Chains A and B, each alone.
Chain A
Amino acid sequence: MTFKSKMMASTAALLIASSHAAWADGHATHPETGDALATEQVFTYRDLDESPSIDPGVAEDSAGGDILRDLFEGLMNQDADGNLIPGVATGFEVSDDNLVYTFTLRDNAKWSNGDPVVAGDFEYAWKRAASPELASPYSWFIELMSLENASAVIAGEMDPSELGVTAIDDSTLEVRLTQPLPYFAQMTTHFTTFPVHKATVDAHGSEWTQAGNMVSNGAYKLTEFVPQERMVRERNEMYWDNEGTFIDKVVRLVIPDENVALTRYLAGELDRTAVPTGQFPRLSEEYPDEALSVPTACSYYYTINLTDTGNPALMDADVRKALSLAIDRDVIVDNVLAGGQKPAYTFTHWATAGFETPDIPMASMSQADRNAKAAELMTAAGYSADNPLEIDLIYNTSEGHKSVAIAVSQMWKQTLGVETTLANQEWQTFLETRGNQDYQVARAGWCADYNEASTFLDLMDSGSGYNDAKYENAEVDALLAEAKTADNPQANYDRVEEIVAQDTPIIPIYHYASVNMLNDALVGWPVNNFQQNWYSKDFYKKAE
C-alpha cells in the first residue's frame, strides 16, 4: 500500500514544521502561519451535560469523544478535513485480501507517566472494550469493526483473548477482520479504539478515570474533574508532539442552559458555545466572524411503521411518497430552523466522504410540482377532503422537534388535507414506543459512526436493529451486502437511495448543521471535518 509512504512523508513534514517554531522576543509567532500568539493559550468551551464516562472503553457520547481525543491518542488521527493522518501509528499495511491490517507504532509515543506506548496497550484496550466483564455499552463498536471473534467474545462464548488483535512486538499491531471493510482505518480514530494503560486500571479499578489517577497518552492530561461542573486538561509534557502543540490548557464547563451559556460567551468567559435554536440569523448578523454553521454527520427524518401495528393507509407506498413530497423542506430549514441546515431528499448526509448525492427525482422538482404530484397520488389512493387521511405523529419532547412537527402537519393539511394528531413523549418513553413499533409516524435522527455512507444506509437493511420502520426489501439487503466488499460502492448506495426514495419507509427532512459561536482569536477549528472531530492540539490563539 502506498498509504504508508504518504504517512511517512507527512510525518516528516510535520517534524520539520515544528522544529521551526520561532519563539522570538517574548511574542511568539506560529511557525506556519506567522500569527502572533496570545500569551495565554487557554481554550474554554461549553458542554450541555456531563458525559456518561471518559473511559475510552466505556464512553458513549460525542462530547465524551471530544474529551477523549485530547486525553488519548489512537492509532490514527484526523486532520482538519477529516483525512487520516498518523497518530500513535506511523502507518499501516493491508494484506491482499484486505483482511489483515498491520500497524507500525512510533517509538517516541509515551504515556503521561513516561511509560512508552506499546502495541500491547492497544491489544489490552480492545480486548477490554469487548469483554462482558467491562460490559461497555459501546462494545458493539468492536463488533462493527468486524474484528475476528468479536461477536462471540461479546456474547461471552469466547474468551476476550481470542479477539482478532495481536501485538506482534512493542511497535507492531496486527488486526484480523472477518470481512473486508473499506473504512476500517477510519474507525481507528474512534475513542473505543484508544489505548488504555493497564497498570493504572489495575491499580484504581473503575476510578482510574478520576483526575490524579488517570494516565493518558494524548496531547493533554486530566488535571481537574468535577462532574457536571468543570474539567481541566493541561499539556502532557510526555506527548510525542508536545513541541508542536500550542494550547496549554483546555477547560470544559458544563452549562445546561444554552441561553446562559451564550450570555457567558458574550461576557468573554467561553471560547465556544452552541447557538440557541432560532438565534443563528441574529447572531450571524451581529457577530459575523464568530457565528459558525458547519455540516455535521446527522440526518433528521420521519420513520413510518410498516408493520401490522402501523396505520393501514401507510402500507401504500404512494401514500407515503405523497407525504414526503408535500413537505416543503426549504421552509423547514430556512424559516423553522434557520441554522444553516440543508434540505434532505436522501438519507445519507450530503457531506459524507466519498458520497455523491444521487439524482432523486423529487430533489430537482419545484415545491409546486411536488405538491401537485403529491395531491395526484393521494387522490389516486382514494383520499379527498371528504375522506381525509388521519395519521398520528410522535416526537420526543423538545421545542425544536415540536416546531418541525407543527410545520409538517400544516403542510400535509394544506396540500393533502391530511389530519395529523401530534403527540410528544418524554425521551425514554418515546424510545420504547418507537422501538416496539407502537406508532404510525415518528421523528428520528441518525448520526454517523464513521465517515462513509453505509453508516446511514445500513439502517435500511431488514436485519438492522435500528430499522424502526421494519422496512424489508431484498434488493436493498443484497446491494448493501455487496457494497461491503466492493471497490467502489457508490453505485450501490445510489441505487439504495433511489429505492428508498421510491418506497419511502422513511421521510428524510434535513441534514444537520452544528451552529456555534467560536472566538475569532481561536485558529484551527476543523470546519471541514464532517464528524466535527476536533483536537485541541491543532488550535492556537492569536494575540488580539
Chain B
Amino acid sequence: MTAYIIRRLAVAIPTLLILVILSFVLMYAAPGGPFNSERPLPPAVLANIEAKYGLDQPFWKQIVNYVVGVVTQFDFGPSFQYKDRSVNDIIAQGFPVTLTYGFWSFVVAVGVGVSLGVAAAIKQNSWLDYLAVGISVGAQVLPNFVLAPLLVIVFTLWLDWLPGGGWNGGAWQNMVMPVIALSTSYMASIARITRSSMLEVLNTNFIRTAKAKGLPMRRVIWKHALKPTMLPVISYLGPAFVGMITGSVVVDLIFSTGGIGQFFVNSAFNRDYSVIMGITILVGSLTILFNLVVDILYAWIDPKIRY
C-alpha cells in the first residue's frame, strides 16, 4: 500500500509539469494579453510593464523561470491584473472561503443525498421513492445560476432572513445560501447514484443470505448493504469534492463571496497569466490528491481491491 501511494505521488509530478506547460502554451496562444485595454498603452509604458513582469523574455525562459519560482520558493508570482497583490495573496484570501463553503456543501450533499438515495431504494416504488426521485430530478434540472438569484429574492428581499451576499468573515448567515446553491445538484446526483447502487446491492446473494438468517432490516442495511453501495458514490465524490472546494463561479458571482472561483474566471478574461497558472496548479494538485484518496478508500471499503 505504502509503495503504491509513493508510486502514485511520483507520477503526480510529471502530470503536474505537463499541466503547467500545456496551460502556459494555451494561455499564450489565446489572442490578447494582460495589458491590452480599450485604451492601448503607449509603447514606452508597455515596455516598462513587460520588463517588470518578465514578459519581454523569450517564451521558454518564462516557463523555466516560472517553474523554478514555484518549485524552489513556492512563489506563483505577482498578479498582472490586481497589481497590489501576488498570486499567493489571492489564493490565501480566496481559497479558505471556497474551502469553507465547499466543505459544508459537501457535507450537506452527501448527508442529504445518501439518505434520500437509501430511503428511496429501501422503499422502492413507494411514495417515499417517488418523492426522493422527484426531489433529486428537480434539483438536478434547476441550474444553480437560476436557483441562486431565486434564493436571494426569497430569503433576502421577501423574508429578510439572510444577507443577500458577501462573506463577512464566514458568518453562518452568509453561508446558508451559497451552501444550498452549490450542494443541490451534487446532492441530486449522489441521491440517484446511491439509489441505483443500493437497489443493485439489495438484490445480491449475500444480502439475501443475511435476510434469510433473520437479521433485522436495519442491521442488513447498515452493516452489510451500505458499504458496497458506497463504492460508485465514492468514485463520484472524489472529483465532486475538488469541484466544490475549488469554488463555483456561479456561487462566487451571485453571492460575491470573494472566493477563488471568481478570480479564476476573471483571470481568464483578463489574461492574468500568473493567476490562471496559480489556480490551475492548485486545482490540478487537489484533483490528483483526491483521486488518490478515493483509491485508498476503495481498498478500505472493498477487501477484494488490493494494490
Seen from chain A, the residues whose Cβ lies within 8 Å of a Cβ on chain B are: 49-50, 52-55, 58, 60, 132, 135-137, 139-140, 143, 151, 154-156, 206-207, 209-210, 226-230, 253-257, 259-260, 263-264, 266-267, 269, 426-429, 431-433, 435, 444-446, 465-466
Q: Given A52-B82, A466-B39, verify A260-B262 contact (CB < 8 Å).
A: no
Count of residues in B whose CB is under 8 Å from the partner chain: 53
Type the 1/0 row for B165-207, where 1 means its CB is closer than 8 Å to any CB of A: 1110000000000000000000000000000000000000000
Q: Name the residue of chain B whose CB is nearest to the CB of A152.
A: B44
**Chain A residues with CB below 8 A from B17, complex form:** none
B96 to nearest A CB, angstroms?
11
Decide yes or no whether B149 CB sits under 8 A from chain A. Answer: yes
Decide yes or no whether B280 CB sits under 8 A from chain A. Answer: no
**Chain B residues with CB below 8 A from A466, complex form:** 39-40
Chain A to chain B contacts (Cβ below 8 Å), 6 pairs: A58-B83, A151-B44, A226-B93, A256-B262, A267-B156, A429-B32
CB of A229 within 8 A of CB of B45, answer no
**Chain B residues with CB below 8 A from A155, complex form:** 44
CB of A269 within 8 A of CB of B164, answer yes
Bound form: Cα–Cα A123–B39 in Å: 27
CB of A428 within 8 A of CB of B271, answer yes
CB of B164 within 8 A of CB of A264, answer yes
Q: Given A206-B84, A227-B258, A256-B256, verify A267-B157 contact (CB < 8 Å).
A: yes
Contact residue among A140, A230, A432, A465 (Cβ-Cβ distance under 8 Å from B31): A432
**Chain A residues with CB below 8 A from B256, complex form:** 228-229, 253-256
CB of B253 within 8 A of CB of A54, answer no
CB of A253 within 8 A of CB of B165, answer yes
Q: Given A230-B166, A263-B153, verify A52-B81 contact (CB < 8 Å).
A: yes
Bound form: Cα–Cα A140–B47 in Å: 12
CB of B31 within 8 A of CB of A229, answer no
CB of B38 within 8 A of CB of A431, answer yes
Known: A140-B45, A230-B166, A431-B37. 11 other contacts (CB 8 A): A132-B48, A135-B49, A139-B45, A154-B44, A227-B82, A227-B258, A253-B256, A259-B149, A260-B152, A260-B165, A263-B153
B237 to nearest A CB, angstroms?
28
Bound form: Cα–Cα A466–B94 in Å: 36
Bound form: Cα–Cα A427–B272 in Å: 13
Q: Given A49-B266, A154-B44, A435-B40, verify A253-B166 contact (CB < 8 Å).
A: yes
Bound form: Cα–Cα A431–B35 in Å: 11
Bound form: Cα–Cα A58–B45 in Å: 12
**Chain A residues with CB below 8 A from B45, complex form:** 135-137, 139-140, 154
Decide yes or no whether B42 CB sits under 8 A from chain A. Answer: yes
Contact residue among B36, B49, B52 (Cβ-Cβ distance under 8 Å from A431): B36
